[in-house]
Structure 1
Amino acid sequence: MAVVKKRSTLAVWCDVIFAIFLREIKNQSTDKIGLIWSVVSPLIMIAGMTAMRTFMSGGGDTHTMPTMFFMVYGMIFIQFFLTTLSAVSGAIHKNKPLYAFRQVQPISSIIAIGIFDLLIKLFVVFAVVIICFIVKIDIEVHDPISIIFNFFKVWLLAISIGTMLGLAYCYIPELKKVQQLLTRPLFFISGIFFSLQDIPREYWHYLDWNPLLHAVELTRYAAYPSYGSDGVSYFFLDMCTLLSVFFALACYHISWKQAISR
């Protein structure tokens, strides 16, 4: 006689997330260099932007830290935010056929795709470390714990905002067309190519509303304390992260059933 094994709701949920995660890997591996290109492409962009900034500044240091790492921290954080935001915002619509199964809910696809993008960017960071080791470039990290926490805060911000956008797309699909217009300026206002210290203090209030700028500047400060942390604060970054997560969960709880039925 066959024995029916009962599983808890949490176990079923974890299995669903893992299945969607494997499905995402399969979708990214449709060609021979699919997953590899997901890592190589950000590395090429980071290398190109870093070389350009280093050449323009004549090498040396930028506010007491090497220009290379000044750019690397900024590029990794903004790329991580934008790629995760884009992937998560499309997760609900992308996996809509799966919602016919009662075990599958949109939150499962959001978490699975968010974890996938997190692992991809961790591989990018690991690749940067390996490259620096091969070419014998010293990496100075004064406070690695703060850097790791900042990395995960940016991840939570991207998932939260992506979730709210994904729900909004179910009601107004045309919003997808303006997403790039809204996010593209982040390359220029998040402190990738400049430091807040390069701007006169009276203009800081035009930029310091951006939590990504705080994350980038605080990460540079955690790596090189001599860089300074004027104009940015952990409190502001933490509050933006918590509020984003709260509103994302609230919007999801209120509207996910109506969103997937449209």
Structure 2
Amino acid sequence: MTSTHPAPVEPAHRQRRTARTVVALMLREMATSYGRSPGGYLWAVAEPVAALALLSLVFSLAFAAPPLGTNFPLFYATGYLPFMLFNDVANRVATSIRFSKPLFAYPGVGYLDAILARFTLAVLTHLAVGALVLGGILTIFITHATPEPGPIVAALGLAAALALGIGTLNCYLMTAFPVWERAWQIATRPLFLISGIFFVYDGLPRAAQEILWFNPLMHIVGLMRQGFYGYYDGAYISPLYVGTVSIATLVTGFMLLYRHHRRLMED
């Protein structure tokens, strides 16, 4: 007698199938997000360059020097780039199910594939943009900066991890409760102003420090600046805190998606 049960899928084969699915979804994302607009990926570079140029011009007219160093573009780039990495990656991960819902009819495509594809492509894009922008600033201007790879890689890694955790949790919340997307956008608008892009934590009043310490992006931006300003102490920075928030939100989001993903993909 022969068994009627299907043969189990070997782990290696399953991993190869998942990798092919993620790559296919990334190619689809590239075509839909960048291939339909004039200039394509050029806009991904032009946006931060224009924002940093505007910030540098405005604040150079009001202040003689930035809070750290002597170069305005470098100071704002070290805050703006990790913030934008977190913000954009988290938003893309949060809309993964909605973006790829038509493809879930295929047996080889799942919600984890959609999340991994959007996360991977968004992170790679921001890393490439960051390298171009920071490399251009260090080449064009005399910054007296001594970049250290350790803190820079750690800051960008924490920004990506936090984006994955927050994005995964929001992926469930925004899909299950559509009103949450608008509420989240309103609630997080002040983040641009309170995440250390325009100032350093150490220069704030004690009362403000005690509140803003709980903003994970303050730690990420501080760590990023440690990588460019070797003399910056940043004693308040806690990678453990950022990692804890990232893991807690990621695990909670995945548990909710695992339990409710069938209903979310059918709605």
Q: TM-score, normalised by structure 1?
A: 0.89
Matching residue of 2:47? 41
Correspondences of 1:72-91 after superposition (within 5 Å): 72-91=77-96
Change (3 A) 1:87 1:125: same
CA contact (8 A) 1:220 1:227 kept: yes
Distance 2:121 2:76 in 1: 24
Q: 1:143 aligns with which of 142, 148, 163?
A: 148
Shift of 1:149: 1.8
Determine if the alignment matches structure 1 residue 53 to structure 2 residue 59: yes
Matching residue of 2:116? 111
Q: Give percent identity, aligned residues only.
A: 23
Change (3 A) 1:135 1:50: same
Aligned partner of 2:140: which letter?
V
Change (3 A) 1:155 1:65: farther
Distance 1:192 1:56 in 2: 16
Shift of 1:223: 2.2
Q: 2:197 aligns with which of 189, 192, 196?
A: 192
* Unmatched segments (≥5 aa) in structure 1: 1-5
Cα deviation code 1:143-181 (max 9, x no counterpart): 312211210111121122112112112221122222221
Shift of 1:65: 6.2
Shift of 1:216: 0.4
* Unmatched segments (≥5 aa) in structure 2: 1-9
Distance 2:80 2:66 in 1: 17
SS at match of 1:225: coil
Q: 1:132 aligns with which of 132, 137, 141?
A: 137
CA contact (8 A) 1:93 1:170 kept: yes
Matching residue of 2:216? 211
Cα deviation code 1:96-125 (max 9, x no counterpart): 010001110011111111111112212211
Q: 2:260 aligns with which of 247, 255, 259?
A: 255
Cα deviation code 1:113-142 (max 9, x no counterpart): 111111221221122134225524346245
Distance 1:212 1:20 in 2: 29
Change (3 A) 1:221 1:136: closer
Cα deviation code 1:4-29 (max 9, x no counterpart): xx971111111100000000111121
Shift of 1:74: 0.7
Cα deviation code 1:182-209 (max 9, x no counterpart): 2211011111111111212233111110
Deviates more, 1:127-136 or 1:196-205: 127-136
Cα deviation code 1:214-237 (max 9, x no counterpart): 110122123223222133222222
CA contact (8 A) 2:168 2:250 kept: no
SS at match of 1:223: coil
Q: TM-score, normalised by structure 2?
A: 0.88
Shift of 1:257: 2.1
RMSD: 2.0
Corresponding residue pairs, total: 256
